[in-house]
A and B are shown apart, each in its own frame.
Chain A
Amino acid sequence: MKIRIGLGSCGIAAGALKVMEALKEELDSHNLKIEIQQTGCIGMCHKEPLLDIIDDNGQTFTYGKITEKDVKAIIEEHVIAGNPVEKHLVNSSQNPNDFLGEQVRVALRNCGIIDPEQIGHYTERGGYEALKKAITMSPGDIIEEIKTSGLRGRGGAGFPTWFKWNAARNNPGEIKYIVCNADEGDPGAFMDRSVLESDPHSVLEGMAIAGYAIGAAEGVIYCRAEYPLAIRRLELAIKQAKEKDLLGSNILGSTFSFNIRIKQGAGAFVCGEETALIASLEGERGMPRLKPPFPAQSGYWGKPTNINNVETFANIPWIIAEGGKAFAAMGSQTSKGTKVFALAGKIKRGGLVEVPMGLSLRDVIYKIGGGIKEDRNFKAVQLGGPSGGCIPVDLLDTPVEYESITATGAIMGSGGMVVMDETTCMVDVARFFLDFTQKESCGKCVQCRIGTKRMLEILERICNGEGRPGDIELLQEIALKVGEGSLCGLGQSAPNPVLTTIRYFREEYEAHINEKKCPAMQCKALITYRIDPDKCKSCALCAKKCPVNCITGEKKKPYVIDQEQCIKCGNCMEVCPTKFNAVIVE
């Protein structure tokens, strides 16, 4: 028997360390010698902290939302008496839940299963076998295998991986580099962090195979400093791999040598753009450079460089071990394999999911994600973060594949999937993302520096009820030109949230501008909170909760909100008992 506990950043944040302490104490008090294994993230963020009991038959029982208080019952009833505690059970090998059952895990194959800090756990599950196989193959054959797999870059643009590798391999140069882009910056995205924290060796192995294929002896992982756990686990993994002769000089007795080091980034969104990333690696300010030359021609220190994203590298060992054909058997015509998404927002079961390409957005959101929180109506799903767009309800059957997603005006992106319901204002969403890109713009080129700022100003005035006729057209014009004329991917894709929300939710923009109304009741300047005197029972709950004390009243008389002072926080509406529902928003 073994007990496994999820100690990714997510689990730790939810209180898994406390659960672990309680677990140790409880086992000690029963004099039980049972191994407690830490693991990364299985992806069920909505059920953290998670605890697995793996019984002697190899059956796994997963308990979710565990607190220190629940540990006693689980130990006594399940571990000692052998009866699973139904109340906290969220998954079991015999009875997989909908969240996990619908997934196909390739990149996340070890996440939430192995101890990321033990290389033995990784090799037990076939880890580094692909590297062993790769160094007996010719670099050309490896690239051919990747070509067969149809793998495309998982960082966002979806460029064929083999093509980049081939270009870096064919460009002349004694010294070449492999760079892993772990600068995950989209709001609401955590795919890369999770992979690095839960299965760092898969990325190292993928990088080593890439190094062998293009003829590089050095790899650099560019990871944001905000991911301290990922960095710590990566450092440990590199050390362990070196000890096992899987990294370093003359790997496994071959002539192939490959070293990996980590470079911590300061977390600028633009550093996810490959040329800005290279500038930052070289110690320069993280600003994009002109392409051509492409990194495959002249990248890190002017040498041919291949840059791939974390998830792309994590797929590589699987492809080499299982064959490109097996990978290509999954997915759709143009998009092969699987894709990891960080499912977030107004969704019942948020978390990290990996699905075969070609699955519809509807299936991801409803089958895996369980639908919308509080059973509200679905409004849109935002794909691709600040570079992506919002996809409306009538396009929910769009399959998850590069071309189809791009056709909607969004992008596949690195996998951020934010679900929005009827209480989300789409103009406000566009404003939020523009505010983000505008702040993250490096400021080098005119389009992005000034263009996004002007777009933000227009969106802000619309949200503030000062929108003017013609603003939508002005926004569209400037958005299209910023997209066309910007220097790098950040500016080129920054208008996408604006363009897609105008395309699918134009009526909301019009309501803001023409009627000075926010249909989703979100834009503070356009709404008022009022207490219905007929419904108010003078309970004073709202007055107690009001942070600016602008609600007054007395016993047996309806309370009143002072509109002058109201900051529209909505607290009053939240606390008003549902049986009264006296607070109205208009």
Chain B
Amino acid sequence: MYITINGTDYEVRGESTVLEVAQREGIYIPTLCHHPALEPYGACRLCLVEIIAGGRPGLTASCALPVSEGLVIETDSPRVHHVRQITMKLIMAACPDVPAVMELAEKLGVTDTPYQKASVPNSCVLCGICVRICSKVGTSAIGFAYRGSDRQVMGPWDKTPDTCLGCRACENVCPMGLIKFEEKDGVLIGEPFKSRVTMAKCSECGRFFTGAPMVGTLQQRVGLAVDLCPECQKTKEARLLAHAGGLGRYFNLEKQDH
């Protein structure tokens, strides 16, 4: 199957979206809410491209546009460019002091916004990646609250979400780096969702290493028993490997298993 992006034909095998093809071929399409591990969402409107032929002509989100034979796409036509600039200016006005937003704006040649800037510092861009990853993990400890411009991400009723596993997936995926978890006295504290999760102790070294509910969930769902912190786990595996390969004597390991 062939599609045309910016005048060049590309061969595509199997199912994929226009955004995926573009990324594979090194064609730049900006996006804020796309994450390869998640379903297309279409919220940031930055990845809009123009369909010239082979589909309903007009602007559409490339993250959700399936590739079909004969599709002709422009990723940076004047029309796309103009809408993208306005979108960026709108995001910039809503999140004026988020470094990642400013970086993206600069990349798109947007230096200032004519719209009234939000006064709340560190505003979330509401890409929803954290909410979606949390749902994918299967707990949906956080979600959206309020409508329209009041929309926010929080735990239910803005209270400590009791289903948070402390897996820290949200922290990992946040493209703005606005989600931070901290360990304090055996409790994992996650802002800005008011998460409070008791941590599990490593059976080897006694250090706290992850949320206790996470350990339970892994055991329950995939039958994986985790009782060691990542460091001790690594040591354990190295030791096992060493023994299996008969190389135990090359390792200066204080404690010998088996």
Taking Cβ atoms with an 8 Å cutoff, the residues of A that contact B are 268, 285, 287, 290, 292, 438-454, 457, 474, 477-478, 481, 484-487
Is B48 part of the binding interface, using a Cβ–Cβ cutoff of 8 Å?
yes
Interface hits, B20-77 → A, CB 8 Å:
40-46, 48, 58-59, 61, 64, 66
Residues of B within 8 A of A484 (CB): 58-59, 79, 83
5 CB-based A-B contacts, threshold 8 Å? A292-B66, A443-B144, A443-B147, A444-B151, A447-B87
Q: How far apart are the CA atoms of A244 and B59 in the complex, in Å?
A: 50
Minimum Cβ distance to chain B for residue A19 (Å)? 41
Q: Which one of B3-11, B88-96, B164-172, B185-193 is at the interface?
A: B88-96
Q: CB distance B144 to A290 under 8 Å?
A: no
Q: CB distance B42 to A290 under 8 Å?
A: yes
Which of A292, A453, A477, A485 touches B149 (beta carbons < 8 Å)?
Answer: A453
Q: CB distance A447 to B42 under 8 Å?
A: no
Interface hits, B122-160 → A, CB 8 Å:
126, 128, 143-144, 146-151
Minimum Cβ distance to chain A for residue B139 (Å)? 16
Please judge, given known A-B contacts A292-B66, A441-B147, whether A454 and B44 are in contact too, CB under 8 Å.
no
- Nearest opposing residue in chain A for B113, CB measure: A454
Is B256 part of the binding interface, using a Cβ–Cβ cutoff of 8 Å?
no
Residues of A within 8 A of B40 (CB): 290
- Which 4 pairs show the lowest CB-CB distances between chains A and B? A443-B151, A441-B148, A481-B86, A290-B64
Q: CB distance A445 to B44 under 8 Å?
A: yes
Residues of A within 8 A of B43 (CB): 444-446, 487
Q: CB distance B42 to A445 under 8 Å?
A: yes
Known A453-B149, A485-B87; 13 more pairs at CB < 8 Å: A268-B147, A290-B41, A442-B147, A444-B43, A445-B45, A446-B46, A448-B148, A449-B126, A477-B86, A481-B83, A484-B83, A485-B86, A487-B61
Q: CB distance A478 to B86 under 8 Å?
A: yes
- Nearest opposing residue in chain B for A285, CB measure: B144
Residues of A within 8 A of B66 (CB): 292
Q: CB distance B86 to A439 under 8 Å?
A: no
Q: How far apart are the CA atoms of A285 and B147 in the complex, in Å?
A: 10
Q: CB distance A450 to B48 under 8 Å?
A: no
Q: CB distance B90 to A486 under 8 Å?
A: no
Which of B59, B83, B93, B148 touches A443 (beta carbons < 8 Å)?
Answer: B148
Between A450, A457, A481, the greatest number of chain B beta carbons within 10 A of the residue's beta carbon is seen for: A450
Which of B90, B144, B146, B151 touches A447 (beta carbons < 8 Å)?
Answer: B90
Residues of B within 8 A of A454 (CB): 90, 93, 115-116
Residues of A within 8 A of B79 (CB): 484
Q: CB distance B42 to A485 under 8 Å?
A: no
Q: How far apart are the CA atoms of A542 and B21 in the complex, in Å?
A: 72
Q: How far apart are the CA atoms of A321 and B58 in the complex, in Å?
A: 40
Q: CB distance A439 to B148 under 8 Å?
A: yes
Please judge, given known A-B contacts A444-B43, A445-B44, A446-B44, whether A481 and B82 are in contact too, CB under 8 Å.
yes
Residues of B within 8 A of A444 (CB): 43, 128, 151
- Nearest opposing residue in chain A for B143, CB measure: A285
Is B14 part of the binding interface, using a Cβ–Cβ cutoff of 8 Å?
no
Is B121 part of the binding interface, using a Cβ–Cβ cutoff of 8 Å?
no
Q: CB distance B149 to A446 under 8 Å?
A: no
Minimum Cβ distance to chain A for residue B85 (Å)? 9
Q: How far apart are the CA atoms of A500 and B38 in the complex, in Å?
A: 39
Please judge, given known A-B contacts A450-B94, A485-B87, whether A443 and B42 are in contact too, CB under 8 Å.
no
Is B114 part of the binding interface, using a Cβ–Cβ cutoff of 8 Å?
yes
Between B42, B59, B86, B147, the greatest number of chain A beta carbons within 10 A of the residue's beta carbon is seen for: B147
Residues of B within 8 A of A447 (CB): 45, 87, 90
Q: CB distance A457 to B45 under 8 Å?
A: no
- Nearest opposing residue in chain B for A481, CB measure: B86
Q: How far apart are the CA atoms of A444 and B61 in the complex, in Å?
A: 14
Minimum Cβ distance to chain B for residue A284 (Å)? 10
Minimum Cβ distance to chain B for residue A417 (Å)? 26
Q: How far apart are the CA atoms of A412 and B90 in the complex, in Å?
A: 30
Minimum Cβ distance to chain B for residue A291 (Å)? 8
Minimum Cβ distance to chain A for residue B165 (Å)? 22
Between B44, B79, B90, B148, the greatest number of chain A beta carbons within 10 A of the residue's beta carbon is seen for: B148
Between B66, B128, B149, the greatest number of chain A beta carbons within 10 A of the residue's beta carbon is seen for: B149
Minimum Cβ distance to chain B for residue A271 (Å)? 11
Q: CB distance B114 to A440 under 8 Å?
A: no
Q: How far apart are the CA atoms of A449 and B64 in the complex, in Å?
A: 20
Q: CB distance A446 to B87 under 8 Å?
A: yes
Q: CB distance A487 to B45 under 8 Å?
A: yes
Residues of B within 8 A of A485 (CB): 45, 48, 59, 83, 86-87
Residues of A within 8 A of B41 (CB): 290
Q: How far apart are the CA atoms of A442 and B143 in the complex, in Å?
A: 13
- Nearest opposing residue in chain B for A291, CB measure: B64
Minimum Cβ distance to chain B for residue A28 (Å)? 52
Minimum Cβ distance to chain B for residue A171 (Å)? 16
Q: CB distance A453 to B44 under 8 Å?
A: no
Residues of A within 8 A of B147 (CB): 268, 439-443
Q: How far apart are the CA atoms of A444 and B42 in the complex, in Å?
A: 9
- Nearest opposing residue in chain B for A441, CB measure: B148
Minimum Cβ distance to chain A for residue B200 (Å)? 32
Residues of B within 8 A of A474 (CB): 114
Minimum Cβ distance to chain A for residue B80 (Å)? 10
Q: CB distance B86 to A450 under 8 Å?
A: no
Please judge, given known A-B contacts A290-B64, A477-B86, whether A487 and B149 are in contact too, CB under 8 Å.
no
Residues of B within 8 A of A457 (CB): 115-116
Q: How far apart are the CA atoms of A443 and B131 in the complex, in Å?
A: 14
Between A287, A443, A451, A474, the greatest number of chain B beta carbons within 10 A of the residue's beta carbon is seen for: A443
- Nearest opposing residue in chain B for A486, CB measure: B45
Minimum Cβ distance to chain A for residue B3 (Å)? 16
Please judge, given known A-B contacts A292-B66, A454-B115, whether A449 and B48 are in contact too, CB under 8 Å.
no
Residues of B within 8 A of A285 (CB): 143-144
Residues of A within 8 A of B94 (CB): 446, 449-450
Minimum Cβ distance to chain B for residue A442 (Å)? 6
Q: CB distance A487 to B42 under 8 Å?
A: yes
Q: CB distance B42 to A450 under 8 Å?
A: no
Q: How far apart are the CA atoms of A439 and B150 in the complex, in Å?
A: 9
Residues of A within 8 A of B126 (CB): 443, 449
- Nearest opposing residue in chain B for A268, CB measure: B147
Residues of A within 8 A of B115 (CB): 450, 454, 457, 478
Q: How far apart are the CA atoms of A484 and B44 in the complex, in Å?
A: 14
What are the interface flags for B102-127 relative to A under an 8 Å C-beta threshold, 1 for contact and 0 otherwise? 00000000000011100000000010
Q: CB distance B45 to A443 under 8 Å?
A: no
Minimum Cβ distance to chain A for residue B178 (Å)? 17
Minimum Cβ distance to chain B for residue A445 (Å)? 5
Q: How far apart are the CA atoms of A442 and B126 in the complex, in Å?
A: 12
